[in-house]
Amino acid sequence: MAKIRGDRSRHDAHVAYVRAHPELAIVGPVVGPVVGPMAQRPSQDVAGATWTVEADSREAVEKLILKDPYYLPSLRSYSIRT
Q: Give pLDDT tens digits for 3-48.
A: 777 888 988 998 899 889 988 876 555 444 444 455 455 555 555 6
Tell me how far apart the alpha carbons of residues 25 and 72 are, in angstroms, rounded to a whole number: 19
Q: Give the least confident one: 37-41, 46-50, 57-61, 62-66.
A: 37-41
In a domain, 59, yes or no: yes
In a domain, 72, yes or no: no
> How many distinct helices (H) and strands (E) make up the chain?
3, 4
Domain total of the chain: 1
Beta-carbon contacts of residue 82 (< 8 Å; ≥ 6 apart):
none
In a domain, 80, yes or no: no
In a domain, 32, yes or no: yes
In a domain, 58, yes or no: yes
> Which residue type sits at 24?
L
Mean pLDDT, to the nearest integer, of 51-67?
91
| Per-residue confidence (pLDDT) for residue 75, from 0 to 100 | 82
Band (pLDDT 50/70/90 cuts) for residue 77 is: confident
Tell me how far apart the alpha carbons of residues 56 and 75 are, in angstroms, rounded to a whole number: 27
